[in-house]
Structure 1
Amino acid sequence: LGGSLGAGGLSRLSSEPSPYHLPILASTALRLLVALGLRRLTP
């Protein structure tokens, strides 16, 4: 979910860094952590 979107955001971030990308990157990282945590909890 949102894998390609995250990759696109990362490449865009490296090309033109702006404060607007920070919340997007943070939410993407948080979503990844939550997904990993849920995957660990479910057998």
Structure 2
Amino acid sequence: MLWTILIILFILWLIGFSFHIAGGLIHIILVIAVILLVVKIIRAIL
């Protein structure tokens, strides 16, 4: 489930970055995706 959300956020970031929509919002989406990835990795390790 977390991977699905991560992939969706990454795709939305790519679309927004490609078409220059929503400016700063795109970078916030990317940061959220990276945070989710880090949480997933930490949970897997522990």
- Based on CA coordinates, which of the two structures has the bigger radius of gyration? 1
Q: Compute the TM-score of the two structures, normalised by the length of structure 1.
A: 0.62
Number of positions where the alignment pairs a residue of Structure 1 with one of Structure 2? 41
Q: By percentage of residues, which structure has more helix?
A: 2
Please, which runs of 5 or more residues in structure 1 have no aligned partner?
none
Please, which runs of 5 or more residues in structure 2 have no aligned partner?
none
Matches of 1:23 and 1:4, distance apart in 2: 14
CA shift at 1:19, angstroms? 1.2
Alignment RMSD (CA, Å): 1.9
Matches of 1:39 and 1:25, distance apart in 2: 21
